[in-house]
C-alpha cells in the first residue's frame, strides 16, 4: 500500500507545475476517500482507499491505483464534461483468511466539472478481473460502480 502512494507522489512531481489535486468521496462499490492527481493536461492518477463491499465480510479493505486518460472533453459555458478511460490495479483483503488479493481494473468515468467552483461530480463503472486470489473465494470478474464528488486544490 505504501508503495502505491510513493509511486503516485513520484508521478505527480514529474508532472507540470499547474497540476490539480482533487480530494473527494466515492460512494458505491467500492466506497472510500478518493485522490485524483493530474500528471498531464489529459492524464491523471486516481487513488482510492476504503472498503470494497461493506456487507460482505470476505472483502473489506480496498485500495486502487488507476491511470486515467481523457480522450474526450465537452466544454459548456459553466461546466466541463470529461470522459475518462483508465487502467489500474486494485488490492483488497480477505478478512476470513487474512490475505491480500490483487485485481486489474478498467474504469469508464464521466464527470461534470464546474468552471467557477473547484468542484467535480462524477460517475464511474469499472470492470475488475482478479488475478491473485489466495483461496479462490472471490469472483474472477466483478463490475464496480458508483458516484463521487471531488474538491480541487
The model's pLDDT over 82-93, given as tens digits with 9 standing for 90+, comes to 999 999 999 988
Residue 71: predicted pLDDT:
97
Residue 16: predicted pLDDT:
46
DSSP the chain: -HHHHHHHHHHHHHS-TT--EEEEEEEEESEEEEEEEEEETTEEEEEEEEES-TT-TT--EEEEEEEEEEEEEEE-SSEEEEEEEEEEEEEEEETTTTEEEEEEEEEEEEEEEESSSSEEEEEEEEEEEEEE-TTS-S-SEEEEEEEEEEEE-
Domain 2-152 has CATH 3.30.720.110: no
Confidence of residue 106 (pLDDT cuts 50, 70, 90): very high
Domain ranges of the chain: 2-152
What predicted TM-score, i.e. pTM, was given to this entire model? 0.81
Residue 121 has pLDDT above 80, yes or no: yes
Amino acid at each position: 500500500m505504501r508503495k502505491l502512494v510513493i509511486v503516485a507522489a513520484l508521478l505527480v512531481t514529474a508532472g507540470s507545475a499547474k497540476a490539480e489535486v482533487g480530494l473527494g468521496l466515492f460512494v458505491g462499490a467500492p466506497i472510500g476517500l478518493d485522490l485524483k492527481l493530474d500528471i498531464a493536461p489529459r492524464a491523471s492518477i486516481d487513488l482510492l482507499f476504503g472498503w470494497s463491499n461493506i456487507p460482505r465480510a470476505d472483502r473489506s479493505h480496498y485500495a486502487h491505483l488507476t491511470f486515467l486518460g481523457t480522450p474526450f472533453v465537452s466544454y459548456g459555458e459553466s461546466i466541463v464534461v470529461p470522459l475518462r478511460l483508465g487502467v489500474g490495479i486494485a488490492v483488497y483483503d480477505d478478512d476470513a483468511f487474512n490475505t491480500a488479493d490483487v485485481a486489474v481494473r478498467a474504469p469508464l468515468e464521466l464527470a461534470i466539472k464546474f468552471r467557477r467552483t473547484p468542484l467535480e461530480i462524477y460517475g464511474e463503472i469499472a470492470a475488475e478481473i482478479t488475478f491473485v486470489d489466495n483461496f479462490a473465494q472471490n469472483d474472477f470478474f466483478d463490475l464496480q460502480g458508483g458516484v463521487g464528488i471531488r474538491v480541487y486544490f
